[in-house]
Chain A
Amino acid sequence: MSAGVLTAKVPGRRGILPGFSLTMGLSVSYLGLIVLLPIAALLLKASGLSWHEFVVATTSPRALAAYEVTAVSALEAVAFNAVLGLLFSWVLARYDFPGRRLLDSVMDLPFAMPTAVAGVALTAAFAHNGVFGQFLEPLGIKIAHAQPGIAMAMAFTSLPFVVRTLQPVIEDLDLDGEEAARILGASELQVFLRVVLPVIAPALIAGVTLAFARCLGEFGAIIFIAGNRPFETEIAALLIYIRLEEYDYGAATAIATVVLAVAFLVMLATNALQAWQQRYLDKG
């Protein structure tokens, strides 16, 4: 996952694996069969629509509202996770304390848990009669069956992406640099902003991007906690599902194509940003 982050090129390392052509061939055919083929099928189905039909399907007011709900919630979720993920990975990488291994494993739970289970559990906790909901609702804070619930479900399922991307990088951080900065009189804030952050930033960005892409596609956890009301709490993935229920495969794949394209563009932009940053770091 963090492959693109720290690709220090060790000379001669390539020879460890038996036969470049074999491994490369396997990777490419796997990627082709399992990842690209279904996506190609999706695009093919969408291409059955005329350009006009495609535009109508993807830019209906309801679809636009669904993109907005999805994107805004995803941004909220990753903003939250950027801060919290940094904190968690810092704690896990830098400190040794009783229960650290346990906490480390718990961090993976959102990966392992069926997202629908997560959705049901979050809804139960934040509904007005739930463990948290009963205290929040009297204060006028509505989470289940409202937009904040969507952001919360997204944050829940995407947190490990940030933590698991950042943690190894923080573990590998050279403490000498920080020490040197302190000796030279830098404040703790300066050490963090000038010494630590530039090194971990690519990993942070990578993690946040992965989390964002995950949020765009999340379905199982969200449909339980969102109100699923059109224009208010209806996410793009649900609209795709609804179009399928109408046997409208064309419109469903058209909307799916838009979501997929956005996720892909975000990934691409991040990779470019990382490559640029890597060059910058290598020079420095």
Chain B
Amino acid sequence: MKKGVVFAAALGLSLAPLAVQAQPADILNVSYDIARELYAQLNPPFQAQWQKEGGQSVEVRQSHGGSSKQARSILEGLPADVVTFNQVTDVQALANRGLVRADWQQAFPNQASPYYSLPSFLVRKGNPKHIHNWDDLARADVRVVMPNPKTSGNARYTYLAAYAFALEKFGNDQEKAKDFVRKLLGNVPVFDTGGRGATTTFVERETGDVLVTFEAEVNGIRKEFGADKFESIVPPVSVLAEFPVAVVDKVVDKRDSRKVATAYLNYLWSPEAQDILARNYNRVRDAKVAEKYKAQFPEVRLYTVELFGGWSNIQKVHFAEGGILDQVFEKR
């Protein structure tokens, strides 16, 4: 499919001199794996609004996959007008190579993250293993399902939440925190490459006692597969997962689509879009909308990545080759 996109874009470029148009008739939003249904709901109202305000029709095309893989595709030439990722580091990777402006987090409100979520738990009906908090996941009798932190942004947040929890529990003792995370990862029978794969393992293969994934996905699964089969357990503490968005400057300058691309991302902060986001169990920024959906979001104390000294530090200390994640993986 992606090849098709590239091909279509190449075709579009070669035809460009023939068609004289102010803004292109379509833009490409390159996004993370489990956002398919979300953007399928967000795009039509934006397209209607753009039509109404500018009198021009626009089609937002979507591409979904693991966030890092998507970023790499863009580095290799996928002409994304905008990115909507679940990893600050993946937008940063684009910024580091000059595709996105360096201060992209200041280009939009809320550090360019129109909504947020947190790693949360989905357990089987009745919660037979009594799983309520992170230390339950490190118990010897619990099987945990989560994707591979090396290949999934989703799982990286889970890893960080567990690590932060352990640091607090053991009074900042790094060794004990490592040991805790080692035990937790040792309870994972399968490391799927992405969030959806882990969902399939937990739901369809009936493997594991608890699935750890974004709160939005947890509730989506209950809606999709039956609230009578699963229970959502929101742990008392977790980590703030941002969903950063950015205009890909290199592409929009070439395609002359900056206006529509920027309008599209701004639309995500509109009350209408925030309502759609909240309906899909994402925690939103708009105070009014947040108030309206208060009941579906239990109070959680959230660690932020600043606890770890920011993303670039996390990358270096935890996720790079030979980092803490590798050490923990290797000494099991």
Contacts and interface: CB of A to CB of B under 8 A. Distances in A.
Contacts, number: 66
B126 to A, nearest CB: 18
Contact of B93 (A127, A231, A247): A247
B325 to A, nearest CB: 10
Contact of A127 (B69, B207, B319): B207
Interface in A198-229: 223-224, 227-229
Given A127-B206, A129-B206, A242 B150 contact: yes
B330 to A, nearest CB: 6
A243 B321 contact: yes
Contacts of B72: 244-245, 247
Contact of B148 (A62, A224, A242, A243): A242
Which size bracket describes the interface of B in this complex? 20 to 34
B151 interface: yes
B251 to A, nearest CB: 19
Contact of A230 (B190, B192, B197, B330): B330
Contacts of B188: 229
Contacts of B326: 62
Interface in B151-209: 151, 188-193, 197, 204-207
Summarize B's interface: helix, strand, loop or mixed: loop
A246 interface: yes
Point out which of A61, A130, A231, A247 has the most chain B C-beta atoms below 10 A from its C-beta.
A247
A245 B66 contact: yes
A129 B150 contact: no
Interface residues of A, number: 28
B329 interface: yes
Nearest to A238: B193
Contacts of A230: 329-330
A238 B192 CA distance: 11
A130 B69 CA distance: 31
Contacts of A127: 204-207
Contacts of A165: none
B332 interface: yes
A241 B193 contact: yes
Given A129-B205, A245-B151, A228 B330 contact: no
B107 interface: no
A216 B190 CA distance: 21
A267 interface: no
Given A223-B193, A246-B320, A123 B205 contact: yes
Contacts of A164: none
B68 to A, nearest CB: 5
B330 A124 contact: no
Nearest to A228: B191
B33 to A, nearest CB: 13
B205 A246 contact: no
Interface string B301-332: 00000000000000000011100001001101
A227 B205 contact: no
Point out which of B148, B206, B319 has the most chain A C-beta atoms below 10 A from its C-beta.
B148
A207 B191 CA distance: 33
Contacts of A248: 321
Contacts of A223: 192-193
B150 A246 contact: yes
A248 B188 CA distance: 25
B227 to A, nearest CB: 21
B205 A245 contact: no
A244 B66 CA distance: 12
Contact of B330 (A62, A144, A243, A245): A62
A242 to B, nearest CB: 4
Given A61-B330, A224-B197, A245 B69 contact: yes
Contact of B150 (A128, A245, A251): A245
B190 A228 contact: yes
Given A62-B326, A245-B69, A229 B191 contact: yes
A127 to B, nearest CB: 4
A245 B191 contact: no
Contacts of B329: 62, 230-231
A57 to B, nearest CB: 8
A123 B150 CA distance: 22
B319 A228 contact: no
A55 to B, nearest CB: 14
A128 B151 contact: no
Interface string A108-147: 0000000000000001100111100000000000001100
Contact of A145 (B68, B189, B319, B332): B189
13 contacts: A62-B330, A123-B205, A124-B204, A127-B205, A127-B207, A144-B205, A228-B191, A228-B193, A229-B188, A229-B189, A230-B330, A242-B151, A244-B72
Interface of B: 66, 68-69, 72, 93, 148, 150-151, 188-193, 197, 204-207, 319-321, 326, 329-330, 332
Given A229-B188, A245-B151, A251-B321, 17 more contacts: A127-B206, A127-B207, A128-B205, A129-B205, A129-B206, A130-B205, A223-B193, A227-B191, A228-B148, A228-B191, A228-B192, A241-B151, A242-B148, A242-B150, A242-B151, A245-B69, A245-B72
Interface of A: 60-62, 123-124, 127-130, 144-145, 223-224, 227-231, 238, 241-248, 251
Top 5 closest pairs, chain A to chain B, by CB: A127-B205, A228-B191, A242-B150, A230-B329, A245-B68
